[in-house]
Amino acid sequence: MEDNTSKLDEQEWVSTLIWDWIEILRLIFAITGIIGNTLVIIVYVHRRRMRNTTNAFIVNLAVADLITSIFIIPVPVLSNIPPIWVGRMYCKTIFNSVFMWISIVASILTLTMVSLERYFAVVHPVKYRVIFSKWRPRAIMACAWLCSIIINTFNLYVVDLHKGGYCYNNWPSLGFRYLIATSVFLLEYFVPMIIMLVANIVTVRTLKSQARALLQRDQSRFSPAYSLLEARRKVIETLLIVVITFIVCWTPDQIGFYIYHFGGVPESYIREPLYRFMVLLAFANSCANPIIYAFKNKHFRHGFMNMIRRKGNRIGSNADSIAAEEEFNTANVTVRTVRPKAASGVVTVQS
């Protein structure tokens, strides 16, 4: 009798998770992201020749994507939450997925830094040696995580526990909601996107002009200088694909998020299939980058194959060493949004 009562109480505390096609795809993306980003980290750890500044940023991105992939696994939410401090902390952290959004913000900030790192390496090599030397890359990565934590502190203020026993966004005023929505849209999506696009476009143009200058000086396409430029070109090409993938995955979600917070759509919009699909598309970005590396970067590709086949870590040839110092991969990005939990497949009722 007691066992039946306990099971009933447990059912009353947990909302039903509906396994529709969106939630199934979300689980597939989560598993793919966990496996892919874990492989990126392992390959970097076991491949000493890949330990350069750019790849260090890539691994930082992979760590952020790995955390994101773990937290996008569909799970049921609690209902009938008791009005005590533990319940409030659940709403402000677990329900609101604050740890996932911290990793998402860290991803996009790190990806922005990768674009700037390649920009300075190609366009301003003298400044590059000063900005990205010794301990500074680690400090930059630490700042990315610190900033992502600071940016997400508003969740502790906005999200709260309703006396009815469910979590909700408790906006103090409409103006404050507009301010937060605009700040998130600009700082975590639009401005970084513009920085990445401009930095990469300028970098590509500079590489093309440098290649033309070498050829005009009768430099062979097989010379070390030209090989270095070619390796850098492949690096930027991979980064551009990652940035474009980020834009494609996150733009629909961010535009929908912005319109929602400014009252352009009804509150029920967050439970519509279209919105849930846009969120799913955004989460797909967390598993996209390891796939891009596998196809675009031969060093990570060979590393992946060695991990799968359980062979030795030594790959490539002496000719590859030039490219190895420059070639890189770019892990996931995602962008943080202030969104209700009802975007998932969990059935919740709020008034």
Please tell me what DSSP assigns to residue 269.
G
Q: Across residues 271-278, what is the average pLDDT?
A: 86
Structure tokens at 328: 């890189």
CA-nearest of 308, 299, 307, 323 to 42 is 307
Helix axes 21-46, 53-71, angle to 10 degrees: 150
Please tell me what DSSP assigns to residue 93.
I
Entry pTM: 0.80
Residue 75 confidence (pLDDT): 85
Cα separation, 303 vs 309, whole angstroms: 10
Asked whether residue 349 carries a pLDDT value surpassing 60, the answer given is no
Asked whether residue 328 carries a pLDDT value surpassing 70, the answer given is no
Residue 220 confidence (pLDDT): 59
Asked whether residue 344 carries a pLDDT value surpassing 80, the answer given is no
Please tell me what DSSP assigns to residue 167.
E
Q: Give 26 or 265, the one with higher predicted confidence.
A: 26
Helix axes 98-123, 191-216, angle to 10 degrees: 30
Which amino acid makes up residue 16? T
